[in-house]
Every structure is written in structure tokens, then in C-alpha cells.
Structure 1
Amino acid sequence: MTARMTLSPAGVAELELVLAGGLGSASYASEGAGGRLQTTEPLTSGAVELLDQEGTPLAVVEIDGDVADGEWLVGSVRQLRAFGHQLHRDRRIGAQTSRIESALVVLGDLPGEEDARWESLGERPLVVLDTGHHAEALSRDVRRALTAGHDVRVLPAPDAALRSAEDWRDAVAVAAHALFADEIEVWDTERAVGPGLVILLTGLSGSGKSTIAKLLAERLGEVDDRTATLLDGDEVRLILSSKLGFSREDRLMNVRRIGWVAALIAKHGGIAVCAPIAPYAEMRAEMRERAEKVGRFMLVHVSTPLEVCEARDRKGLYAKARAGEIPQFTGISDPYEVPTGADLAVDASVVSPEDAVDQIVAALPR
């Protein structure tokens, strides 16, 4: 049976680069050559099918041996179908076949017209980087460059999660050199984000995160001009995820749906306050990645200890879980991966919900 791995949007862009020959052996590889991909789960030797977020098969990697979670998967890669939903397809890699002598790559947003660097561009093509930031930003930059009379190419960005900032910049230059031009100059510009914000409160059942989230949404309505929307974990399960269970896959899908809705709210300039348990680091990282394409993200760990959560349990869920009546219960029979990179931690066993809200509002990204 062929194993399957779902790629993040950044992972899909990385795959696109590799299949085009833009990264060589730095990640996967082109057809028939050795390459590598960092796994998120243990895999055994054989074929691994790579899927996008919609479950569409994109490629197959033939790996040489067993790999553990977090290790590199090595093998040849074969593309199954064309990549879909690509903006400016006529200017992406593959569509632009002519190689040129020199090009300029912009890592972030195009600088303003008053920027002196424009004078050095000359007749060189301008390579605009598609970081998955959001469609409007990419289209805006392409339109601006075309209106100014520049030859524009669109390059998908390598996966930043696999590299340091410096290595990521180097990978962009390597890909541009391999695919477009013999000589590459890089403009390291900032990529602006919109005013939207996603706040994820994660913690054990009974930690107090739902109470804090409701008070926070109310407080934000009083102190912030942006519209605040509450996405509580229990309520979302009743509406968006009513048919999902509590397996790892179903939990990931539940939080993915919350993250998708939250990012839409942030994309339009609002604040999404989310309060699922979100027990796995993988799902929290995915939500952060999605949110930071359109705005900002804040991770709040409601760190109330397990014994306090269990003592507070008015519904008797912890007792049922310990008796084996509720399988896959977070903190008892299913793991809770404590966040190591939370923007803020609040212990609701030692601070009141109102004080917790004060701390969150004071720490909001500006």
C-alpha cells in the first residue's frame, strides 16, 4: 500500500521548484535523481504519494529505506499532474523557457517608485517571488511591474520551514539562477502584512481557555477598531466538524478548518479568537503558517496544570477517560504536546480570566 503525505502550501511550492530542476539535490530532486524531503511521520521504504491540502496527488517519491519522524526521506520523485490554482501561470517557471543573462529577484514587496534601486534594474527581467502571502499582494506586484514596462517572471518560494532565513535567501537565488538567468541580483525587501490577526488559545480541556476567549473577544470589541470573531472549539465541532471523531487525522482536520476560517477573517482585516484544544504542534504550526500569509498570529498557551483541569471537571469527562469510557482523551489517553514557542503563557489556576485577558491584550502584536 502506498503511503501518503499531505504537503503544506509551502511544501507544494518547494515540490514545484524541485520538479522544475530549481533546487537540485537541496530538497527532493528532478525525475530519476536522488532527493530528500523532511517527514512529519514515520515511513517505510517504498512509494510515498505527495498530496496537496485538497487531497490531490501531485507526485510520488520512491524512498530507499525506512525513515523516522523528522528525518529526511531520500529517493527519486515523479510528477503525477500539473499544479493547480496558480496565479499568473503564463509567467511561472515552465512557461518562461528562454534563459537570460541577468535578472533581479525581489524577496518581498516591490519597493516604492521613489526607491533609488529602480535605476539599477535597467532592461533586466524582474523575478517576483510567490511566497503564498496572498493573491492580492502577488497580483498587485505583477501589475505594477508590467505597467512600468518590465519583463516579469514569477518564482514559487522554497519552503522557509526547512531553512534558516539566510539559507532560504540562498535557496531563492539558487533556484532563480537554475531556472532563469546566469547572473542574479537579490533585493531583500520587506513583505508587508495586513491588519488582520489570528489569536489561538490552546490548552487542556478545563484549562479555562473558552472562558478567556469569550472575555477576550468582548474586550477586543471595546478596545480595538477591528471586528473580533470567536471560534470556540466546542461550537466549531457542532457546526463545521460534526462528523469528525477524535483520531489524530480528525483532530488535524478540525483545527485545519478553524485555521482556514480564521485566516479568512484575518485576510479581511478582522481578529479571529480561536479556542480549540489544538494538542499537536503540527496543527498549531500549520495555523500559524496560514495566518501569517495574510496577517499576524499570536499563540497563547493556557497552561493550567492537568490536575487542576481534572479537579474542575464538572462534566466528569476526565473520570470517564480514566475509566476507559472515552478513548483518545487529551491529557489522559492522547498526548498534549506542550507549546515550546508560545507568544504568551497564562496559568488560569493562578490568574483570573480577567487578568489573563489583560495580559493577552497587552501582548497583542502591533
Structure 2
Amino acid sequence: MSVGRGHSDDGGDGGAGAPVFAPDPVGLAHLELILSGGYPLPGFMTSAEAAAVAAGGRLPDGTPWPVPVTLAVPDDLAGADRVVLTDPEGAPLAELRVSERWSAEPGPPAGPGAAPDRPATRLAGEVRFIRPSMYGTLRHLRLAPAEARGQREISGFADRPLLAVVTARPLHHRALHQVRAAAEELGAEVLVLIDAPFDDEGMAPAVLAAEPLLPPRTRFVVATLPPAAACGDAPLPGDRADLLAAHVARSYGATHVLLDRDPAAGPPAPLDGAPVPVLRPEPWRYDTAEGLWRPADQVPDDRSAAEPGDAEVEEELALGRDLPAWFTPARVAAELARLRPARTRRGLVVLFTGLSGSGKSTVARGVAEGVRRSGRTVTLLDGDVVRRMLSAGLTFSRADRDLNVRRIGYVAAEIARHGGVAVCAPIAPYAAVRAEVRAMAREAGGDFFLVHVATPLEVCEARDRKGLYAKARAGEIPAFTGVSDPYEEPDDAELVLRTEDRAVKESVAETLAALRAGGWLPADRT
């Protein structure tokens, strides 16, 4: 694959007659970066190119490139010669002229909410521009690299070095000190490249809140960088994400790159072969006596405070606590508090899963009532009721059962998006679709709490007030969960309830107590 921009075909027919396909989140991120010039590639890689990149970080012609850029498609597109690629809303973005179709091992998840395994079929070939994308949040900041470089040339500072700060997390005091110090040492202008998802602002507002504390004339752009872990069909070396960020930053004119990472993640992987120098600032710590951030080797241990990691910050916000002023600027703290409100004000999806007759619906009703008494807005999505209303017409095949749970998950995530609590009680027998619902809730800005009602099969069958198990044993109900179809017990449940030897009210109380302990319900109300 030769290096160059995605091909423009403004006078074309827009792919008339070609099949239409909306790429998964990884494919969409690749596509936008190809079309914008963020990648110096004309399209999606062949099997030989992808294999060479995965193995050695280089294309077959020796050009350095960190991650495979491939397009996973359903098997029914394997025979297509052309495919129109659209955004998730169906707007055409580009036409793929297929040069190779090949198979891979089912890839890793494409991102939150995606199926656990990506399709095995890959299509390679050049992409031809149809129209600019209008999809995605913060579209006004999603400048193509050529636009950003042009703005810099107009400003009159294009002859100075450009330090690109690539981040998906807020810039706290430590990072701001390091950026200012690096920019001063280099005599550089600063470009903050915010890695944000398409369908959510992510932490971008909190990054933007730090603008007054950054060097003068700092510019901001937004791009969606695909996670390196989801780019290959096998695990990639740990440095590939940083290398990809450096390549994209270079397309914006960066002469140096600073990557802001979670301090709790440990030291970064060694980085060789970056297209521009990647700065690795020495660790900094807060000097409690002087009230200043300094390089760690200049701060005595007895007056040294480390920066909290992202998980610790998330927990403080979840519990409604103020972030300390020594750690982050007030403007950033205020934006974080808005983005991640305390759990008592945050949307929540509580998903009960268990066999038919386990008692999950009865417990869910009691929990929903308890949540309502606590003062929170709550919606109960019971499996049987949803089947009659939202999912009428679906069968009990695995595909339709998964679709039923996805529909419940979608509705529940929308409830959580607006700050409500959704209590759901489907059987949800399969781990993969439960993981999808968890991801949907989190993508919507809410939280997810999985309750496994672990009532043994023999107890559920003894209860059998609907006579379903008897019909399943008689062969009248095919693919019945627990009898002729599997139930995949969760290993990621936040709470496991044993209902066989206890009253319903005890299970309800245990669940409400767990929600209060986690901060989702006020501690002093039931």
C-alpha cells in the first residue's frame, strides 16, 4: 500500500448500486482518519500489509506504521467489489474499491458496546471520498490536519516548533506544569489533540477547561483514535498506542509530542521508531511544604504527595467529594463534577439476571419500589412485560433473545442518560449480551450494577408456577434456558443473591444496601 491521502472522487456516482455498510467504531475511526489525512494511507490494508505491520510495525515496503488498518465486515459482504461506507446514521462518507477480501481470526471487541468478537471477514482497498462527515460530537473541533496546519500558517507562528499534547483525560496541575515547562524549553507553540469518542464528549470539556492555564495561543483539535488493542487480530506490543498517537499528531504538524497518561498505569512502554520525538517527562510530585509541583527527585519523601490515579478520581467524584485544589484547577474540577456527578445524581442500570423462576422479577419489583422511596426516579423493565410490548414478535432463538436484551439495554441506557434508574429483570442468559448492556449504560454516562439471582435450577423448577419447565422437559418448548439451552453464569456480577432459603424482602434489602453502599442511593433513606 503506497502512502498518501484517501482518494477524492467528487465527480463519482456516490457508489450507486453498491452495498451499504456502517463500520464498527474501530473501522469508523480508521475511515475518518484516512479521509481527513490523519493517516497517510489511501485506504484499508491487505492481509500482507496488516500482517507486516502487526509483526514489525512496518509496511512491506519498510514504511513505519504502528497498527493494522483493516475493515471488518459481515460475511455477506465478502463478495462485494465496491461498498459504500456510511456513518452510524446512514450518511454516505466514502466508497471502498475492494482490492482484496481475506479472513482473519475473529478480532477483539471494536469498543464499548460492540460484540465480543469482530467478524472475521476483512476488505482491503482504496477509499474514495463522497462527502464530509457530520457525525460525532464536538464536530467544530474536528479539524482535518490540513485545516489545522493552515490556521497555524495564517497565525504567523508556523516557523516555531509545535508541541502536540495528546490526551483523553483532563489536564491536572502536574500535566499543566509539564506542558508549560516543555513548551518553554522548546520555544514551541502548543496543540492539544483531544482523543474523544464519536458519540460522547468524553473528557473533552474538562480538557478545554484548562485553556487559561496553558501557554498563549494554545489550539485544540478533537480526533477519535482507535484503541490499538482493538486494531490487530492478535495482541499488539504495548507501545503501539503511543506510536499511533505520535503519527496522527505529526499529521497536524507536530514536531514534538507529549502523551498524558494515567499516573497509576505505571511507567510507559519503551518507544522506538516514533515519527517525531515523544517527550517522556520525569515523574513529578507535589511538595506539600512549598505548595508546588516539582520533579520527583527534588521533593523529599516526607513532604511528597503523588497525583491520584484516574480510578481514585472517579471514586471521589462518584461519592460527591471535592477534588483537592493542589491536584487540579478549580475550573477543571467543576467541569469534572458536571461530567461525572455523584452517584446519587447519576443514571444507573440495575440488571437482574437468573433462570426462569429464580425470583428475579419479584426482587426487582421490590428494589424498584425501594429506589423510588429513596427519592430517585425509577423505571422497571420486567422481562415478561417487555416481551409483550417492546419485543412483541420476537422468537426465543438465541439471536432474538439477544435482541430482546439489547432492546432492554438500549431503553435502560437512555433512562440512565437522563439521570434515572432503570431496574431490568430479563433472564439474559448470555455473557456477551450482558456485557453489551453494561457498555451501553456506561457510554450513556450512567453506571451499571449486575445482580445475579443465583437460584439453583432444581429450586426454580420446583417453583415453576407457569408450568414452563414441565413443557420444556416434555419437548414442547425448544431451547429453554437451563434445560435445553445454556445459562452462562456471570463472573462479573456486582452482587450475587441466593434466594432459595430466604424471604424476598431479605434479598430486596440486601440489594438496596449494596446500592446505598456504592453511593447510588442516599445513605439515610430507604
Shorter-chain TM-score: what band? 0.7 to 0.9
- Seen in structure 2, the aligned counterparts of structure 1 residues 21 and 252 have a Cα distance that, compared at 3 Å, is farther
Whether the 8 Å contact between 1:46 and 1:65 is mirrored in structure 2 is no
Partner residue, 2:139? 89
Partner residue, 1:109? 170
Whether the 8 Å contact between 1:259 and 1:291 is mirrored in structure 2 is yes
Partner residue, 1:354? 505
Partner residue, 1:208? 359
Deviations 1:31-76 (A, max 9, x none): 44424879999x7994598997668898989553474685994755
Q: Give how far 1:136 is off.
A: 7.8
- Seen in structure 2, the aligned counterparts of structure 1 residues 222 and 201 have a Cα distance that, compared at 3 Å, is same
Partner residue, 2:248? 179
Q: Give how far 1:162 is off.
A: 4.2
CA distance in structure 2 between the aligned counterparts of 1:158 and 1:283, rounded to whole angstroms: 22
Partner residue, 2:496? 345
Q: For 1:128, what is the secondary structure of its paired residue?
A: strand
- Seen in structure 2, the aligned counterparts of structure 1 residues 102 and 138 have a Cα distance that, compared at 3 Å, is closer
Q: Give how far 1:139 is off.
A: 5.5
Q: Give how far 1:172 is off.
A: 4.3
Q: Is 1:230–2:399 an aligned residue pair?
A: no
Partner residue, 1:130? 196
- Seen in structure 2, the aligned counterparts of structure 1 residues 46 and 292 have a Cα distance that, compared at 3 Å, is same
Q: For 2:416, what is the secondary structure of its paired residue?
A: helix
Partner residue, 2:44? 30
Q: For 1:125, what is the secondary structure of its paired residue?
A: strand
Q: For 1:363, what is the secondary structure of its paired residue?
A: helix
Q: Give how far 1:138 is off.
A: 3.9
Partner residue, 1:295? 446
Whether the 8 Å contact between 1:201 and 1:274 is mirrored in structure 2 is yes
Whether the 8 Å contact between 1:8 and 1:286 is mirrored in structure 2 is no
- Seen in structure 2, the aligned counterparts of structure 1 residues 216 and 249 have a Cα distance that, compared at 3 Å, is same
Q: Which of 265-274 and 44-53 deviates more?
A: 44-53
- Seen in structure 2, the aligned counterparts of structure 1 residues 102 and 141 have a Cα distance that, compared at 3 Å, is closer
Whether the 8 Å contact between 1:36 and 1:75 is mirrored in structure 2 is no
% identity of equivalent residues = 39
User: How high is the TM-score relative to the length of structure 2?
Assistant: 0.56
- Seen in structure 2, the aligned counterparts of structure 1 residues 214 and 110 have a Cα distance that, compared at 3 Å, is farther
Q: Is 1:64–2:102 an aligned residue pair?
A: yes
- Seen in structure 2, the aligned counterparts of structure 1 residues 76 and 114 have a Cα distance that, compared at 3 Å, is closer
Q: Which of 87-96 and 31-40 deviates more?
A: 31-40
Whether the 8 Å contact between 2:472 and 2:483 is mirrored in structure 1 is yes
Whether the 8 Å contact between 1:6 and 1:55 is mirrored in structure 2 is yes
CA distance in structure 1 between the aligned counterparts of 2:407 and 2:76, rounded to whole angstroms: 29
Whether the 8 Å contact between 2:461 and 2:469 is mirrored in structure 1 is yes
Compare CA radii of gyration and give the structure with the larger one. 2
- Seen in structure 2, the aligned counterparts of structure 1 residues 132 and 236 have a Cα distance that, compared at 3 Å, is farther
- Seen in structure 2, the aligned counterparts of structure 1 residues 90 and 45 have a Cα distance that, compared at 3 Å, is closer
CA distance in structure 2 between the aligned counterparts of 1:229 and 1:161, rounded to whole angstroms: 36
CA distance in structure 1 between the aligned counterparts of 2:219 and 2:181, rounded to whole angstroms: 15
Q: Is 1:188–2:238 an aligned residue pair?
A: no
Q: For 2:379, what is the secondary structure of its paired residue?
A: strand
CA distance in structure 1 between the aligned counterparts of 2:143 and 2:259, rounded to whole angstroms: 18
Aligned counterpart for 2:396 among listed residues 246, 269, 273: 246
Equivalences for residues 16-27 of structure 1 within 5 A = 16=32
CA distance in structure 1 between the aligned counterparts of 2:491 and 2:91, rounded to whole angstroms: 32
Aligned counterpart for 2:417 among listed residues 259, 267, 274: 267
Name stretches of at least 5 consecutive residues in structure 2 with no aligned partner: 1-18, 51-67, 108-116, 150-160, 184-188, 263-309, 315-335, 520-526
CA distance in structure 1 between the aligned counterparts of 2:482 and 2:422, rounded to whole angstroms: 26
Q: Is 1:154–2:219 an aligned residue pair?
A: no
Name stretches of at least 5 consecutive residues in structure 1 with no aligned partner: none
Aligned residue type for 2:168: L
CA distance in structure 2 between the aligned counterparts of 1:36 and 1:109, rounded to whole angstroms: 28
Q: Which of 254-263 and 172-181 deviates more?
A: 172-181
- Seen in structure 2, the aligned counterparts of structure 1 residues 7 and 253 have a Cα distance that, compared at 3 Å, is farther
Q: Is 1:326–2:340 an aligned residue pair?
A: no
Whether the 8 Å contact between 2:352 and 2:364 is mirrored in structure 1 is yes
Partner residue, 1:199? 350
Whether the 8 Å contact between 1:23 and 1:171 is mirrored in structure 2 is no
- Seen in structure 2, the aligned counterparts of structure 1 residues 44 and 169 have a Cα distance that, compared at 3 Å, is same
Partner residue, 1:218? 369
Higher relative contact order (CA 8 A, sep 6+): 1
Q: Which of 249-258 and 296-305 deviates more?
A: 249-258
User: How high is the TM-score relative to the length of structure 1?
Assistant: 0.77
Q: Give how far 1:208 is off.
A: 0.9
Whether the 8 Å contact between 2:479 and 2:485 is mirrored in structure 1 is yes
CA distance in structure 2 between the aligned counterparts of 1:141 and 1:92, rounded to whole angstroms: 15
